[in-house]
Structure 1
């Protein structure tokens, strides 16, 4: 017998926010509707428009019609093992993330509670953020300083992370230049302002140690993904040889892989809510990190659905040691959201409405389907 939370339909589609938008700028949306008309929204990682994950969702969508949406953890494990031979990292865990967030959105609306309350309650109602500023591998020192200064002054973030986004096939391409940019940014913001450096996997072990030593002298808080993410042994070696906190796991997709990188010696991990299992997956990561005494600082680049979901999880973490990530601000999505999360005085408010707490205009989403 159908109940208020019985799944009626699951839709998986891309949204283009601007005309002729390339796939990498589109969002990968999953919308779940129950027989009583409760609607939940989720999203997957938008790499290549998220089509790889949306294809997985479309494959299982019909099989979930008639299933209780409140059984989200059971559905997560069933589907993970159904598609396990696809990796399951990447496409599958992104698909399950989108579904899971949508089902948590439904659960919150059904019980008329924000998600963080259903997760056990929040330690905080506001979360500081750091401005994540990318593209600096291709900039000069002066251009890097200007890019950082613009975000620093306009957003007043609690911290700043300088991202390189360079060519991952070229290791140690310009170590002296990278250090010069790190020095210039430190000079801009002063000695005490919190800074982080995201290498985006561009160094060898030796190059990473050289840059890491410079960052230690400059007082940077953490050094993110200094070597290739798939070289877990090397990442652990760098982490253990440097005093600066080395972070990784943005490209880690299961709790088992997370434990591998922790066991290698990494003491700050950054799984992404729309890459590895959504709210259910990230809460599992929180438990793993708590048990191992490791900092959990999730990677998160999407400004609306994923951002709101991430804030709900961060609200529940007792030892929240670092700000939340805020990357590449844009208003292009605001037409589909009545109350998109907006930064204020270096913080985001945790949404307090039912479910994700977002008011989403589905008609606007449908107009932008691609």
Structure 2
């Protein structure tokens, strides 16, 4: 089982798999994993290499690791070299705050914290990406209100979802520093790598980026620009193999690896296996909005218990899904 990014247009990844990748894999040895996927990457390079094609390869990579683990009757983390930890704390990733009033932001933050007991909270904006610096004063006011609600010692992150200009991001970042926020995520458009680096270098707060980065080379460019916390997504960039490469790259450059992860099922479990192998894991694991939906398909959805995720011990990814329910929800992929 594998999972591609379901973000806007994500169905395109499954179409690419069905029409251009799966036929090339039929009859091949799944233990030739790296050769097979590198061949497909170069075969489909003109479809990207970023975006739908890369997410398709990520899904196949996770599926091949799952298959390998089941064949060898071992959980994936064992195949990756072993786990430093069997439990990982979660952080509540709370989106949609660009459209909420201060009272509405506080209500949903309070609800998530009381329900999940997270080690940290990240408030996300999810605003209109065609506009910049829409309500800087209002954004800072919401950040200030959340700090007051949760107290001075609670770990907080702020995800701008690419909402500011360089100047606007620096202004907001300085306010977040005064409020004691721990990280400032994607303050400007992700494709403006030099601008992201400028913001990162001019602020003391840790600036993070990388959830919309699809290749190891692009992640290297972010690090070289000055970003000190990188957030690639296992369902977008390389799957388990790709995220392990990102972990090595981050370790070599002395930056934090804190993967973006909004999928509560396959992508999430794959993410846990990789993060368990990271020696210096510096932040909790993302638990985004709508995580409850995994319970409708999986018999053993990975849910945080008292703020902690448990590492699966069964072979492969370690998940059990309801085949009847999965089939009921399936849709045909056409050319």
Fold equivalence (TM over 0.5): yes
Residue 100 of structure 2 corresponds to 139
Question: Aligned residue for 2:238?
Answer: 277
Aligned-partner Cα distance in 2 for 1:208–1:300: 23
Structure 2 unaligned regions, length at least 5? none
Counterpart of 2:127 in 1: which secondary structure? coil
Partners of 1:158 and 1:116 lie apart in 2 by 23
Matched, 1:326 2:299: no
What TM-score, normalized to structure 2? 0.97
Kindly tell me the number of residue pairs found equivalent between the two proteins. Answer: 330
Q: How does 1:286-325 map to 2 (within 5 A)?
A: 286-325=247-286
Partner of 1:51: 11
Deviation at 1:48, TM superposition (A): 3.4
| Other structure's SS at 1:130 match | strand
CA distances 1:210-240 after superposition (whole Å, capped 9, x unpaired): 0000000111000000000000000000000
In structure 2, what is the Cα distance between the partners aligned to 1:85 and 1:229?
A: 21
Residue 333 of structure 1 deviates from its aligned partner by 3.1
Task: Say if 1:330 and 1:245 are closer, same or farther in 2 by CA, change over 3 A.
Answer: closer
Larger helix fraction of residues = 2
Structure 1 segment 179-218 matched on structure 2, within 5 A: 179-218=140-179
Q: What is the SS of the residue equivalent to 1:348?
A: strand
In 2, distance between residues paired with 1:246 and 1:354?
37
Q: Secondary structure at the match of 2:2?
A: strand
- 1:253 is aligned, of 214, 217, 220, to 214
Q: Distance in 1 between matches of 2:9 and 2:78?
A: 32
**Is 1:239 aligned to residue 200 of structure 2?**
yes
**Match for residue 38 of structure 2 among 77, 80, 101:** 77
Structure of greater relative contact order (alpha carbons < 8 Å, 6+ residues apart): 2
Asked if structure 1 preserves the Cα contact closer than 8 Å seen for 2:209 and 2:229, the reply is yes
Shift of 1:62: 1.6
Within the alignment, does 1:350 sit opposite 2:279 as a pair? no
TM-score normalised per structure 1: 0.88
- In 1, the alpha carbon distance for the partners of 2:206 and 2:14 equals 35
Q: Distance in 2 between matches of 1:349 and 1:260?
A: 33
Q: Report the CA distance between 1:49 and its aligned residue.
A: 5.7
Separation (CA, whole Å) in 2 of partners of 1:187 and 1:249: 29
Other structure's SS at 1:45 match? coil
Tell me which of 138, 141, 149 is aligned to 2:110. 149
Q: Which has the higher strand share?
A: 1
Aligned to 2:78: 117
